[in-house]
Structure 1
Amino acid sequence: MTGIGAKALRTRWFVRSPIPLFKAGLGFLFGRRLLLLQHTGRKSGEPRYVALEKVDRPAKDRIIIASGFGEKAQWYRNLQTDPNCRVWIGFDRARPATARTLSREESAEVLLRYRHDHPKAYAQLAGVIEESTGLGIDDIPYVELQLS
C-alpha cells in the first residue's frame, strides 16, 4: 500500500484535485482530516494553494501539518518567507492563520500523540514519506497553523 501512496504523492493532478472542491465550498466532504492551505509565492507574490493532511489539532484554533517533502516543499518555503496564510477545513473557509515551524521537541511530542492515537495511520504515513522522499517521519518539519 505504501507504494501506491508514494506514487500518488508524486502525481501532480492527484494531489491538486481537492483544491477546486475546497474553493467551491465543498471542503466538508473531506471531513476535518484534509485542509486547503493558501500561501503566498515567495517570488511571485501570487496566492498558491496546496491540499494537506492534518496531523493534529490540539486546539480549535491550532492545526499541525507536516511537510512530507521536507524543507524543499514549495508551500513550506513560502511560509518561511511569509507566515500569513488562509486555511479551509471542514465547513471553515479561508480562515486567516499564521504559520510557525515547530521545534524538534514539539514535533516529537506531536508524533508521539499521533503514533499513540492512530498507530495504523502512523505506520502508513511513515512508510509513504520514507518511500516518497527518503526522509524519516521524525526528520520532516512540522508546522503549526494558528487560526485567527
Structure 2
Amino acid sequence: MCRRFASTEAASRVSARPLPGCSARSRDASRDTPQRSDSASRRSGFAWRTGRTSGLPRQTVLEVTGRDPETGAYHLASGFGPGAQWYRNIQRTPHVTVQVGRRRTSAVAEPLGPEESGRLLAAYALRHPRLARGLMRMCGLEPDGSAEDYDRIGRAHIPFVRVLPDERPARRLSPGA
C-alpha cells in the first residue's frame, strides 16, 4: 500500500524522490517498488513557491487535474481545502515555478472561485472516476459518483487553482545570484 501523509509537504520532506502517481496506482502487493501508469507523470507535478511567513522556498507534489489547451494553464486542486499550506502560500505570493513531466516553467497561480472549482472537479471526476473517488476518500469525503455531487463538493470543500505559465522559462538560481 502507498504511504499516505497528512500533507504533501510532509511527503516532500521524507524523500528527495517523491512517488508521482502514488495515489493513482498504489504499490503492487508482491513488490515494494512503486507502480506508475504512463500518464502518472502528466497528472502529478511539482510546485516551488515562497513560504508566506518564512520567505523560504517550499516544494510540493500536487495532482494536476487538467490543462487548458488554449492558455496552457494547469488546474490544481487543494484536496485539504483552503487551509493547506501550499494554497495559503500561493495566495500570499502567487509567483511559482511548476514542473509537469519534464517541463519546468515560471508561472502565476490564481485561486479560482467556488463555481469554477465545482465545474473543474466534476469534469475531472468524469475523466478519472476511480481516481476521483479515491482522492475524495483521502480527503475525508464520500461522493455518490454523480457530476452534481462532485460539483457540490468542489464548490464547498475543494478550491482549485489555475497556474498560468509565464512567457519566460524558469531560471535556475546560480550560486552568485
TM range, smaller chain: 0.7 to 0.9
The equivalent of 1:25 in structure 2 is none
Equivalent-residue separation in structure 1 for 2:117 and 2:9 (angstroms): 29
Give me the identity figure in percent: 32
SS at 2:16's partner residue? Answer: helix
**Residues 25-47 of structure 1, C-alpha deviations (whole Å, 9 max, x = no match):** xxx99521110100101112111
1:10 to 6, 9, 15: 6
Equivalent-residue separation in structure 2 for 1:34 and 1:64 (angstroms): 11
Instruction: Return 5+ residue gaps in structure 1 as ranges.
Output: 23-27
Q: 1:19 to 1:40 in 2, by over 3 A?
A: farther
SS at 2:79's partner residue? Answer: coil
Matched, 1:73 2:73: no
**Residues 12-57 of structure 1, C-alpha deviations (whole Å, 9 max, x = no match):** 78721697348xxxxx995211101001011121111111111111
Q: Give the CA RMSD over aligned residues.
A: 2.9
Instruction: Return 5+ residue gaps in structure 2 as ranges.
Output: 19-37, 142-151, 167-177
Higher relative strand content? 1
The equivalent of 1:83 in structure 2 is 94
SS at 1:98's partner residue? Answer: strand
Q: 1:87 to 1:111 in 2, by over 3 A?
A: same
TM-score by length of 2: 0.66
Q: 1:114 to 1:101 in 2, by over 3 A?
A: same
Equivalence map 1:1-148=2 (5 Å): 8-10=4-6, 15-16=11-12, 20-21=16-17, 30-59=40-69, 61-93=72-104, 95-130=105-140, 137-138=153-154, 139-148=157-166
**Greater C-alpha Rg:** 2
1:9 to partner: Cα distance: 2.8
Q: 1:29 to 1:106 in 2, by over 3 A?
A: closer
> Does 60-69 or 84-93 show the bigger shift?
60-69
Equivalent-residue separation in structure 2 for 1:81 and 1:108 (angstroms): 23
